[in-house]
Amino acid sequence: MTSQPRAVVQTPPLECLNVPRGVSDCACKALEPTFPLSRDPSVVGRKKQLAALSSSEVSIREASVVPQDGRRMKDLQVECSPIVVRSVHDNVSTISERLVLLAEIDGVHVGFCVSFPGPQDSDPLFIQIVAVAPNAQRRGVGLTLLTKAAEREPLRDIALATQKINVAAREMNGKFANSIGASLQQVNLGTYRDSDLGIQRGMGYRSWVIQRLPVEP
Ligand SMILES: CC(C)(COP(=O)(O)OP(=O)(O)OC[C@H]1O[C@@H](n2cnc3c(N)ncnc32)[C@H](O)[C@@H]1OP(=O)(O)O)[C@@H](O)C(=O)NCCC(=O)NCCS
């Protein structure tokens, strides 16, 4: 994981076309962290919370279309390289268009997952992002996020992509496939649209499908 490309920090777009109804752009901008991050009080406070996480179980909830959850996603994007860091506003747009699940331990956000079903019934569930804060990794949070996202679409196959060098993600996906009695099968890039997988070409991605077993009559 150490040699992965650095996350790309994006500045908020000057003009946002997908402003979710009822969410003000100003409210989103007000929640952007201040730089340097080491002096942003909310970032400093969060570091302390993450360092003091208990062994309590993780809980999963659906993100709401509010700036605060957009900021929670941003906190995690900053912490979880190589996930792309987006503006709070863009994250709120994502929440309004996709299923975003937030994982929390002791009320602290420790992970998130972005997924959506393709438009046709025969399309898979696309899982675009799973990210878990380093302090909360290797305790089943990523697997729980995948499981909860998949439960929303029990009849669909599941499509996702991982970078070749991302051993953790590939191993997690394989373990998840096993947990539902299936296997992770590599498919050609181009089987699914890059935008559905949430990837860019030339970044070493591999594309995978997990085929659901037919439901017994
Ligand atoms: C990939 C990621 C989401 C895994 O989250 P996690 O909560 O630590 O995963 P889990 O604890 O549920 O692990 C499930 C299984 O995945 C595998 N796994 C997870 N992290 C691993 C690692 N660093 N190395 C090898 N295998 C790993 C293991 O098989 C693990 O089971 P085990 O702990 O019983 O051995 C996390 O490392 C992360 O956020 N990475 C940065 C962002 C990213 O790359 N996301 C994926 C692409 S969108």
Q: Is the pTM of this model over 0.95?
A: no
Domain 25-210, CATH: 3.40.630.30
| pLDDT score for 19 | 58
Cα pseudo-dihedral 143, 146, 148, 154, rounded to 10: -130
User: Ligand 1: which atom is nearest the Cα of residue 128?
Assistant: 48
In total, the chain counts a number of residues equal to 217
CA nearest to 33, candidates 16, 9, 64: 9
The partner residues of 205 in beta bridges, in order of sequence, read 163
Three-state DSSP class for residue 197:
helix
Orientation angle between helical segments 141-151 and 167-179, nearest 10 degrees: 50
140, 88 contact by CB (below 8 A): no
- Say how far apart CA 61 and CA 112 lie, in whole Å: 10
The CA 131 to ligand 1 mean position distance, Å, reads 9
Cα pseudo-dihedral 27, 44, 47, 99, rounded to 10: 10
Residue 180 has pLDDT above 70, yes or no: yes
pLDDT-based confidence at 21, cuts 50/70/90? confident
User: Ligand 1: which atom is nearest the Cα of residue 131?
Assistant: 39
Amino acid code (one letter) for 22: G
Is the C-beta atom of 47 inside 6 A of ligand 1? no
- Express each pLDDT in 106-153 by its tens digit: 999 999 999 999 999 999 999 999 999 999 999 999 999 999 999 999
pLDDT-based confidence at 10, cuts 50/70/90? very low
- Express each pLDDT in 182-215 by its tens digit: 999 999 999 999 999 999 999 999 999 999 987 7
Is the C-beta atom of 80 inside 6 A of ligand 1? yes
- Say how far apart CA 98 and CA 178 lie, in whole Å: 25
